[in-house]
């Protein structure tokens, strides 16, 4: 095979020297990109196997001069034949065909060739762009299902055109397919096929395989794109369905019987149309995400709900919570894990609502344009910065803010992109003009971007999508720089997000604020110092932007890195969702929420059953009736824990947990079941669940045994108080001066008791209620902890309260946490003695 030697290639790349002009057919072509002093021309990767390409200018027109090495053609006729062949394609813009053909002598090349060697050369249209090969190998972040599909359609069309003209390119790999921008106003990315030097006629005498070589290269292109997506794991995670669809296409393309593979799509004898139809269908979700749950207890946590569509169907709002969440002010909402924060935050985001069939009244209640930001996704990136660079304040601050800003901006742009695909949504959200927004972001990014390679110009065919890809790419660059503590390719300040929000607000016709729904903004996810670095952005107040934040109690910071404090009287509203549910004791509300939630699940599966029918009402609907029963019951089997009232009492705001319990009670039900589950069966399921749930505590490896002992002892103590005195004890209470902090006190007194206490609250074994002042004098408060209600059936206790465990001082608290058995036995003894004394005193009075 004739090809350029390694020596010559090296010369071309490193040591070349060319004259200023080359004369072809009497016309002088000036070589561009040439160093005037030494004649060196930057050729870059424009070196092929049989020649190279120079950028030249003649009569103000820039062209490509393709120079072939002398041995590339067998005879003088060959290049002329090539030009003649390619002229058949002159009507098709996709092919870059020679305009002029000639030959030249270049004395500078004499060292590598014979002196009388002629160099055949072709003048072609100059195209600015990059090859698809280059994108796949070095810029795969820029790939998307949409642009891959478009490129494949275009390549297939070009192959079909060649076949129609009875020609074959014969070297149609991705390195010979360029992606260039076309048009003046409506700039679009189109492919151009270059290097037509191997163009050949095909006739019926050619073997079938030889005739189809271009087609095989198309198949190879399909495979290369598929593998590029597969290797880029970020894209793989996002587009698994698309990859599965390409795999199916490859399977069909491998079939040696075209009719069998594409029979359904073939019109007449034209297999290309059949394949084109398959390619056009690549982006469709035909295998798709599951359209419904597999069973009523699938996806217990919001995170596991497979699609936004299902989430919309399953969402039931807890009124008080939802009203706050859909307000037009910045919000800090904290509550225990599993109380439905993620579900609600996902529900109010635009991306979820786009799955809605109609943009009706319910949606109008959401007054903002919600962009969901899950902190679990941000955590790994920001934690890295936190762990490694916490002693370099300047780098730390810059990298945290830049990464966070890019992340938010990408999510915002993606949301706008998703809206742009849905006309109904565009109308609903009054999307007016996204061009100003995208141009603004692009200009800002371009202005700040400091890498040697500039950002490619924004495509006008789908600028939002292109911008999203650019942002993703820069985000990855920022992270890579952070990994190796290199200068950041871009630095964005605190003002970037507010500026972007303002433009986005404008794009929505100023009808809705931009709301960033920052879910799980806890120290566990976003460390305290990072939160302080970000709080200037997060708590920035304006008429066009708000942040709604979900967190856990004592797991967020309200300070920023400059020490300013943001509080709930000015910057945001604070809502304690945990206390709202737990302390509310509003069982009717709980009941209707649980019934609604379960019935939504049944309905989403097309089941006719209703929870209230399957479970029925409880025999003991009030705390006192249950108390009476439990107090007086002796021996025999119990069946008191049954019915919807009891199930509602058991709920402490943890949605996944109540669904788990229901899954045990309703274990074997069918879609059309009419009979109620027997109370004894319900009781057994609830009791077993409660016992297992309590036993589970010991499995926590941090203070598991200690916490298990605290919960068990407290449950036993409560049971004994119920049996002996008819007391309902579910809380422990501890009086403190207003200025004192229980956590600081515990830490100073006994660090391990402090650790146990922290874990008890973190794992929601106890729930920390809002401090009370009801039984205190001035300047004092009561710290109140409630044992999670799910543990009560394990101890045969009731859900109400008429007494509490009184912790009188910090030493008692420490004792309760570290030696619960001993401490509570002592309490019981004291109580018995006190009862005896009281009894004696009563007898004295008699």
Partner 1 sequence: MSNRVEKTQPMNTLYQTEDLIGQLPGATALNQLKKNTTHILILANGFEDRANAFINKISGIPKYKATTVLIAKYTTNTNDNDQTYPKMMDGVNKICDNKPKTFDADDQQKVFLTINQAISKFEETNLLDVTVDISVSSDRLILAIMHSLLKSKYKINLSIIYHEAASYTPSKEEYLKNKEDCIKKVLSSDIQEKGVHPAFFSPLNHGLSKPEYSDFIIQIPTLKLERPFAALMDSDENFFNRSETSICWILGRPEEEHAWREELQKKSLKKGLESRDFENLFTEHNHYVCSTLDYQDTTKLLFKIIDESSRKNITLMPMGSKMQTIGASLVLSVRSECKVMLVKPKRFNKSAYTDGIGKAWMLSFELEKAKEILKKVGCYNIKLRGGKESDSLPSS
Cα separation, 270 vs 262, in Å, equals 10
Instruction: Collect all residues with Cβ–Cβ distance below 8 Å to 423 and sequence separation of at least 6.
Output: none
Query: Judged by CB, which is closer to partner 1: 400, or 783?
Result: 400
Cα separation, 664 vs 604, in Å, equals 20
Does the protein bind partner 1 through residue 338 (CB under 8 A)? yes
Does the protein bind partner 1 through residue 239 (CB under 8 A)? no
Kindly tell me which residue out of 337, 475, 601, 795 binds partner 1, with binding defined by CB under 8 A.
337
Query: Judged by CB, which is closer to partner 1: 355, or 511?
Result: 355
CA triple 504-352-291, angle to 5 deg: 150
Query: Which of positions 158-187 make contact with partner 1 (CB under 8 A)?
Result: 163, 173-176
Cα separation, 478 vs 480, in Å, equals 5
Query: Judged by CB, which is closer to partner 1: 762, or 801?
Result: 762
**Cβ 67 vs Cβ 53: under 8 Å:** yes
Instruction: Collect all residues with Cβ–Cβ distance below 8 Å to 99 and sequence separation of at least 6.
Output: 63, 122, 123, 124, 125
Query: Judged by CB, which is closer to partner 1: 467, or 662?
Result: 662
**Cβ 690 vs Cβ 794: under 8 Å:** yes
- Interface with partner 1 by CB under 8 A: which range of 296-304, 323-331, 540-548, 668-676? 296-304
Cα separation, 143 vs 468, in Å, equals 11
CA atoms lying within 13 Å on the CB side of residue 229: 24
Does the protein bind partner 1 through residue 843 (CB under 8 A)? no
Query: Judged by CB, which is closer to partner 1: 346, or 529?
Result: 346
Kindly tell me which residue out of 3, 130, 240, 265 binds partner 1, with binding defined by CB under 8 A.
240
Residue 529 C-beta: closest distance to partner 1, Å:
15
Using CB under 8 A as the binding criterion, the count of chain residues that bind partner 1 stands at: 85
Residue 337 C-beta: closest distance to partner 1, Å:
5
Does the protein bind partner 1 through residue 139 (CB under 8 A)? no
Please give the helix or strand (H or E) that residue 681 lies within, else none: helix 679-696
Cα separation, 650 vs 223, in Å, equals 55
Does the protein bind partner 1 through residue 701 (CB under 8 A)? yes
Residue 107: exposure state from Cβ atoms within 10 A (0-12, 13-18, ≥19): exposed
Does the protein bind partner 1 through residue 755 (CB under 8 A)? no
Query: Which of positions 354-413 make contact with partner 1 (CB under 8 A)?
Result: 374, 376-377, 379-381, 383-384, 387-388
Does the protein bind partner 1 through residue 702 (CB under 8 A)? yes
Does the protein bind partner 1 through residue 544 (CB under 8 A)? no
Residue 423 C-beta: closest distance to partner 1, Å:
25
Kindly write down the DSSP assignment for every residue of 499-533, as one continuous string: HHHHHHHHHTTT-SEEEEEEET--TTTS-HHHHHH
Query: Which of positions 628-687 make contact with partner 1 (CB under 8 A)?
Result: 656, 660, 663
Kindly tell me which residue out of 43, 100, 106, 300 binds partner 1, with binding defined by CB under 8 A.
300
Query: Judged by CB, which is closer to partner 1: 217, or 782?
Result: 217
Does the protein bind partner 1 through residue 303 (CB under 8 A)? yes
Torsion angle defined by CA atoms of residues 781, 785, 789 and 790, in that order, rounded to the nearest 10 degrees: 160
Residue 180 C-beta: closest distance to partner 1, Å:
15
**Cβ 21 vs Cβ 31: under 8 Å:** yes
Cα separation, 543 vs 505, in Å, equals 9
Does the protein bind partner 1 through residue 236 (CB under 8 A)? yes
**Cβ 377 vs Cβ 355: under 8 Å:** no
Does the protein bind partner 1 through residue 468 (CB under 8 A)? no
Beta strands 573-576; 331-334: pairing state: parallel
Query: Which of positions 183-222 make contact with partner 1 (CB under 8 A)?
Result: 195, 207-210, 212-213, 216, 219-220
Kindly tell me which residue out of 14, 15, 37, 256 binds partner 1, with binding defined by CB under 8 A.
256
Query: Judged by CB, which is closer to partner 1: 174, or 783?
Result: 174
Cα separation, 43 vs 31, in Å, equals 11
Query: Judged by CB, which is closer to partner 1: 207, or 841?
Result: 207
Tokens at 218, concatenated: 């198309």
Residue 220 C-beta: closest distance to partner 1, Å:
5
- Interface with partner 1 by CB under 8 A: which range of 142-150, 249-257, 540-548, 720-728? 249-257
Residue with tokens 């879910």: 519
């Amino acid at each position: 095979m004739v090809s350029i030697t390694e020596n010559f290639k090296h010369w071309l790349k490193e040591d070349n020297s060319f004259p200023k002009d080359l004369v072809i057919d009497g016309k002088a072509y000036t070589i561009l990109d040439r160093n005037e002093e030494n004649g060196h021309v930057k050729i870059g990767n424009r070196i092929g196997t049989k020649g190279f390409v120079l950028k030249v200018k003649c009569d103000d027109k820039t062209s490509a001069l393709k120079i072939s090495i002398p041995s590339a053609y067998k005879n003088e006729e060959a290049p002329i034949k090539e030009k003649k062949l390619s002229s058949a394609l002159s009507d098709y813009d996709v092919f870059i065909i020679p305009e002029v053909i000639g030959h030249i002598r270049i004395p500078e090349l004499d060292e590598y060739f014979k002196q009388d060697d002629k160099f055949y050369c072709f003048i072609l249209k100059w195209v600015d762009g990059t090859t698809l090969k280059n994108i796949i190998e070095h810029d795969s972040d820029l790939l998307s299902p949409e642009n891959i599909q478009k490129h494949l359609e275009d390549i297939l069309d070009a192959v079909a055109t060649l076949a129609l003209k009875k020609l074959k390119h014969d070297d149609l790999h991705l390195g010979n397919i360029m992606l260039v921008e076309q048009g003046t106003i409506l700039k679009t990315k189109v492919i151009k096929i270059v290097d037509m030097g191997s163009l050949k006629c095909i006739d019926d005498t050619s073997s079938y395989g030889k005739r189809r070589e271009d087609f095989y290269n198309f198949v190879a292109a399909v495979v290369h794109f598929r593998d590029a997506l597969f290797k880029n794991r970020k894209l793989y995670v996002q587009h698994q369905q698309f990859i599965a669809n390409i795999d199916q296409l490859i399977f069909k393309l491998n079939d040696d019987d075209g009719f069998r593979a594409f029979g359904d799509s073939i019109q007449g004898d034209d297999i290309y149309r059949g394949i084109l139809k398959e390619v056009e269908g690549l982006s469709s979700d035909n295998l798709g995400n599951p359209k419904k749950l597999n069973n009523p207890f699938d996806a217990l946590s919001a995170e596991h709900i497979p699609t936004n569509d299902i989430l919309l169907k399953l969402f039931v709002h807890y009124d008080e919570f939802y009203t706050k969440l859909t307000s037009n002010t910045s919000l800090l909402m904290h509550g225990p894990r599993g109380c439905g924060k993620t579900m609600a935050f996902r529900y109010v985001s635009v991306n979820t609502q786009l799955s809605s069939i109609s943009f009706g009244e319910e949606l109008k209640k959401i007054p903002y344009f919600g962009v969901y930001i899950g902190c679990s996704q941000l955590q790994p990136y920001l934690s890295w910065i936190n762990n490694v660079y916490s002693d370099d304040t300047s780098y730390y601050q810059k990298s945290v803010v830049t990464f966070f800003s890019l992340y938010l901006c990408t999510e915002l742009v993606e949301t706008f992109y998703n809206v742009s695909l849905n006309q109904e949504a565009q109308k609903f959200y009054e999307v007016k003009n996204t061009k100003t927004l995208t141009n603004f972001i692009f200009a800002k990014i371009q202005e700040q971007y400091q890498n040697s390679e500039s950002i490619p110009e924004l495509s006008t065919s789908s600028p939002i999508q292109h911008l999203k890809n650019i942002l993703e790419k820069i985000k990855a660059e920022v992270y890579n720089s952070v990994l190796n503590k290199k200068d950041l390719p871009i630095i964005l300040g605190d003002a970037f997000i507010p500026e972007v929000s303002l433009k986005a607000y404008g794009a929505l016709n100023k009808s809705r604020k931009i709301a960033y729904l920052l879910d799980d903004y806890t120290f566990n996810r976003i460390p305290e110092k990072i939160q302080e670095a970000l709080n200037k952005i997060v708590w920035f107040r304006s008429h066009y932007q708000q942040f709604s934040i979900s967190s856990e109690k004592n797991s967020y910071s309200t300070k920023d890195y400059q020490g300013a404090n943001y509080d709930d009287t000015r910057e945001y509203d604070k809502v304690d969702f945990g206390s709202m549910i737990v302390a509310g004791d509003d069982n009717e509300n709980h009941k209707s929420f649980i019934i609604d939630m379960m019935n939504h699940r049944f309905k989403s599966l097309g089941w006719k059953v209703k929870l209230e029918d399957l479970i029925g009402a409880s025999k003991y609907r009030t705390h006192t009736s249950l108390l009476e029963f439990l107090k007086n019951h002796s021996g025999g089997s119990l069946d008191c824990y049954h019915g919807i009232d009891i199930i509602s009492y058991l709920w402490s705001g943890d949605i996944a947990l109540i669904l788990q319990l229901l899954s045990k009670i309703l274990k074997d039900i069918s879609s059309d079941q009419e009979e109620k589950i027997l109370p004894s069966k319900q009781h057994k399921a609830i009791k077993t669940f409660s016992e297992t749930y309590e036993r589970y505590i010991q499995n926590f490896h941090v203070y598991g045994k200690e916490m298990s002992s605290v919960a068990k002892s407290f449950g036993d103590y409560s049971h004994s108080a119920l049996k002996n005195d008819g007391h309902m004890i579910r809380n422990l209470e501890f009086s403190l001066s207003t200025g004192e902090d229980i956590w600081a006190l515990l830490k100073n007194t006994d660090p391990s008791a402090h650790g146990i206490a922290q874990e008890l609250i973190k794992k929601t074994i106890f729930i920390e209620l809002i401090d009370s002042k009801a039984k205190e004098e001035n300047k004092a408060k009561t710290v109140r902890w409630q044992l999670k209600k799910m543990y009560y059936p394990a101890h045969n206790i009731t859900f109400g309260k008429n007494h509490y465990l009184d912790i009188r001082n910090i030493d008692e608290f420490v004792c309760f946490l570290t030696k619960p058995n001993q401490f509570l036995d002592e309490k019981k003894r004291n109580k018995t003695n006190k009862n005896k004394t009281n009894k004696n005193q009563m007898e004295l009075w008699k």
